[in-house]
Chain A
Amino acid sequence: MASDQIRNKGVNVTDHDLTFRSLSEVLQNNITPYIALLEAKDCPGIKNLMQKLMGQLMNCYIDVDSSEDEDYVQVSHNRIRCSMTSLINWYEHVTKKPDSETPSKKRTSSSRHWQSPPVVVVFKDMESFSTKVLQDFIVISSQHIHELPLVLIFGIATSPMIIHSLLPHFVSSLLCIELFQSLSCKDHLSTIIDKLLLRASFPFKLGEKVLQVLINIFLYHDFSVQNFIKGFQLCIVEHFCSQPVSVLCCQLVDAKKRADSLSHDQCENIRKLPSFRRYVESQVSEKQIALLTVDTYLKEITQKLLEDLHVYHENYLSVLRCLHVFTSFLPKYPLGKQIRELYCACLENQVWETEEYESSLQLARMLNKSDLVTMLQQCVEIFVSSSGKEFDNTVEKLKEFLTQFQKLEEEAFQEQDVSVSSQKELQKKTDLYHLQKTLLELKESRRSKKLTKFEMLRFEVVDYIDSLVRNYLVPANHKTLHEIMYFNTASVLREHLNAAPRIALHTALNNPYRYLKAFSTVVMGAEGPNADAASSDQVDDIIHARFIRAVSELELLGFIKPSKQKTDHVARLTWGGC
């Protein structure tokens, strides 16, 4: 039986290429040098599939052990018989080699591999393959499984049931199937956000609206992690290009040095920032004047504020993680299940004023003991691992809570007696009047019952967490100089990322000059370094001529027609497609 494995990927088709390439690298380093990656568009028939397969395998072989063997150097596809027997012969030849030959320089790489390493064939997009090709290939390779150990990896984007619709029974009975599921794309997104944004070591941060835009595109449109990364890169570029004070957005040590060497214009830029103006207004009047006029004083204050901001970020992140641990135990997740949702909620406004926060505190006051203990332990770990001495007190306090909880366990037995005695009272024989009296007394006592020690402790813990949140999770726009680190112009981002082709086409056709410029940029880009010589302002005459000819060809084909508005304007004639 052929051996076969299925990898269930997600529907983010754009990311698959990268995944498969990294997979083949890992396999090549550890298991076998014989890997072939196949795509559906290259294999319309079994013959093309065999050709591609053999081409890739024989090239793989050359990569590992070059220059030794002359027989198999770069054979053209037409000359080899593309059949299984030649593949088997090649495999035998290749796996027999290390025994007889003298050790070559690259022996170390092949010694990691097994004696007869399996040949791995990866079908990158399983759904697009035609069933006949797959069936024939599997039937053929299963005949020769003893001579050629083959492992097939199917990349499936939808669900593994597609195996049953693609392969008939007699073919799938030849396969020994194991299922591997890769992480869902949402997990990938969470990991990325965790590593990029929720680290104090990276000073650049996204504002709430911008983060929402990126996450919306991910969740609503395509689940593509690569697009998210590209959007993030775009934000970085925009930020550093458009915001002049972003020169200070770097590691703290460098930022301080740069703050020292700011020019007068740059100091003026800082003075214009709205958060800085707020800061100035809150100062005493002599300091105000000094800040607004004396550059050196400004630089000192800037350095101090940068340091504050840095410390604020570190604390913010630790407390955020602690709050996330806290809310992840609650039913129905009022503040969001994942840390990125919590982060978005905390970024935009003061989270302690939101309704969800209130409800989560209420729910927290009803948590049971084991959950609370686990939660406290995790918080302790988070604070212990954060750098800085800020949280030493916090750690002490939390550890105190934990020991108090443990003490409660020992005292727990005493509580039970009270309830047992009340039960016994009820069971004694009484008449109706006495029964009524005892029940009313019990109800009174329950209402005014003193809170048990556990409940008091629980209240204390919740209040303490609340105080931490209020202290440290101040939203960033309340801090001075936050514009250096945070990028918040979501409108620019939206313009760039949400391309509207019909609108673009419409504007282009109304103003052909802009279209011409775009055309010339594209053409010059395609032509490569020769085009650098020409100046970018003046559109080259030849390109202009090409453009005019292209437009008239389109007119001839009936796609556009000149509108009556102006001499140069054309209108689109066809309304199909985009």
Chain B
Amino acid sequence: MPNLEHPAYPAATLLHLESLVPCRESQVSMLLSIFGERQQFSFPSIFIYGHTSSGKTYVMQTLLNTLQLPHVFVNCVEYFTSRLLLEEILMQLQSCCSEREQTSHVHCDTFNDFVRLFKQAVVSRELEDQTLYIVLDRAEQLREMEANILPAFLRLQELTDRNVTVVLLSEIVWELFRPSIGCFEPFTLYFPDYSIGHLQKILSQNHPPEYSADFYAAYINILLGVFYMVCRDLKELQHLAALNFSKYCEPVVRGEANERDTRKLWKNIEPHLKKAMHTVYLREISSRAGENEKNVYNSDLKFGCSEKVLGLSAHTHVELPYYSKFLLIAAYLASYNPVRTDKRFFLKHHGKIRKTNFMKKHEKTSNHLLGPKPFPLDRLLAILYSIVDNRVAPTANIFSQITSLVTLQLLSMVGHNDQLDGPRYKCTVSLDFIRAIAR
């Protein structure tokens, strides 16, 4: 029974649309009712927001393509200046409804020019009788451009006096967009996250043809049961499903179990999934193996002999030369120990340090929580000389090693480059790293 009904569009198209956008029927029907019929003016600007992978871009594109509404789709990250953005909209408009490939370069600097050229383009493409949709994806980038871009887009219908609707897609709520000088409030539409039932339905849709839908649905059920607690992102779950499916099918392929033997299949896949939990959001191994059908057998081998395929997290060890290790350790000590304790730790004959009132008050916060503090170069060298056992000659090599540590982002330079007097550094690595090195 079709959920989407609209008098303006043929029922067959709507049925097809519904099959393409499962679990988003209510949002699509809301959009359809706002759009109305082709020639009717719609709301000047619509703001759609929702979490990552909640289907905003996909639904918009599918809707506009299936119903064949004239539209322009632009990603604001790609066209990072206003000039690029406006020119791209105009160029897409030129090729929107015509079959001609050749698009001449349009020169458009300001929004004023844009409005004028837009009106000309609409007339030349004979789009006056239909609503034109301009969809701006990743609209949060609009805030970084000139201040007039966002308010102008929201009022584009009024400025151009044409039948146009601007749709903004973003992950951020509207309150953070609202410019301080005020603007035309768009219609906000929220795409809620998929629930577990929705995820099950969507993921079960793309099952590989050689296995039955039930088999795959059972697999998705298991997968969701394990991963839903930590990950609700549809894209990530799709990736995980593709990656682990071959392992799940192993018993069936080897002939040890048939498709209904849930217990055996679960036993086989459970340790593997447990291991995969550790690296959920980290793309350790390329998923090319999962997507390409021919490589399914090869990926079997890869997962079988797990010591061969090492993900990224297996390579954490950084090899440093001898003095560099000491430099890094000295930098860590300099960053995290307050200056007054230096005398105590590093000299042979130290006096006692008397606690003053000031120190008693501020003792609570641990230095580890506050982060590294900057230290001058001389202090680093002093600590270095005291922790290295044998004598270290102050050669240029030591100094150049400090610079290469900065290049590797293990140390960071604080303050201006102009400060010839004494460069100050800060240590940017964690205690675990230092412990691993100090071994």
Contact = CB atoms under 8 A, between A and B. Distances in A.
Contacts of A8: 315
Given A11-B324, A83-B78, A498-B395, A179 B315 contact: yes
Nearest to A160: B312
B193 to A, nearest CB: 15
Interface string A138-176: 011001000000000000011111111000011011011
Given A499-B395, A576-B378, A177 B319 contact: no
B317 A136 contact: no
B396 A501 contact: yes
A466 B324 CA distance: 40
Contacts of B423: 576-577
A73 B116 CA distance: 34
B312 A158 contact: no
A413 interface: no
Interface string B224-237: 00000000000110
B77 A136 contact: yes
A11 B404 contact: yes
A125 B287 contact: no
A136 B394 contact: no
B403 to A, nearest CB: 9
Nearest to B285: A177
Contacts of A499: 395-397
Given A177-B312, A219-B321, A127 B401 contact: no
Nearest to B406: A128
B316 interface: yes
A578 B399 contact: yes
Interface string B80-108: 11001001100100000000000001000
Contacts of B393: 498, 500
Nearest to B287: A176
Nearest to A83: B84
Interface stretch (A29-37, A220-228, A524-532): A220-228
A147 B84 CA distance: 19
B354 to A, nearest CB: 30
Given A161-B313, A169-B281, A574-B421, A221 B398 contact: yes
Interface string B311-341: 0110111111111100000000000000000
A158 B410 contact: yes
B373 interface: no
B319 A10 contact: yes
Contacts of A219: 321-322
Interface in B382-410: 393-401, 404, 407-410
A278 interface: no
A217 interface: yes
A11 B320 contact: yes
B302 to A, nearest CB: 12
B422 interface: yes
Contact of B312 (A161, A559, A578): A161
A575 B236 CA distance: 55
B200 interface: no
Contacts of B6: none
Contact of A500 (B77, B324, B395): B395
A464 B113 CA distance: 93
A220 B321 contact: yes
B239 interface: yes
Interface residues of B, number: 56
Given A177-B286, A577-B423, A159 B378 contact: no
A162 B317 CA distance: 12
B283 A223 contact: no
Contacts of A184: 319
A453 interface: no
Contact of B404 (A163, A217, A222): A222
B394 A158 contact: no
B52 interface: yes
A178 interface: yes
Interface string B355-397: 0000000000000000000001110000000000000011111
A161 B318 CA distance: 10
A500 B396 contact: yes
B315 A47 contact: no
Contacts of B404: 11, 13-14, 222
A465 B81 CA distance: 75
A230 interface: no
Given A11-B404, A498-B393, A576 B78 contact: no
Contacts of B159: none
Contacts of A577: 377, 420-423
Contacts of A14: 404
B79 A83 contact: yes
Contacts of B239: 173
A325 interface: no
B314 to A, nearest CB: 9
A164 B288 contact: no
Interface in B37-94: 52, 75, 77-81, 84, 87-88, 91
Contacts of B322: 219-221
A128 B319 contact: no
B376 A576 contact: yes
A222 B397 contact: yes
A514 interface: no
A11 B77 contact: no
Contact of A159 (B318, B323, B376, B407): B318
A84 interface: yes
B236 A158 contact: no
A502 B398 CA distance: 12
B408 A13 contact: yes
B408 A220 contact: no
B316 A161 contact: yes
Contacts of B320: 11, 223
A467 interface: no
A241 to B, nearest CB: 23
A499 B393 CA distance: 10
B312 A164 contact: yes
Contacts of B75: 139-140, 143
Contacts of B377: 576-577
Contacts of A13: 404, 407-408
Interface string B271-300: 000000000011101111000000000000
A172 B280 CA distance: 12
B399 A172 contact: no
Contacts of B285: 177
A251 B287 CA distance: 57
Nearest to B423: A577
Contacts of A140: 75, 77-78
A158 B324 CA distance: 13
A291 B51 CA distance: 94
Contacts of A500: 393-396
26 contacts: A1-B287, A6-B312, A10-B319, A11-B320, A11-B404, A13-B407, A81-B87, A83-B78, A83-B88, A85-B91, A157-B407, A158-B408, A158-B409, A160-B312, A160-B315, A161-B315, A161-B316, A172-B283, A173-B236, A184-B319, A217-B397, A218-B321, A221-B322, A576-B421, A577-B421, A578-B399
What are the 8 tightest A-B residue pairs by CB atom distance, in nearest-first order? A576-B422, A576-B421, A499-B396, A498-B395, A221-B397, A220-B322, A160-B312, A176-B286
Given A83-B88, A574-B420, 9 more contacts: A11-B404, A83-B84, A84-B78, A85-B91, A127-B408, A128-B409, A177-B285, A177-B286, A576-B378
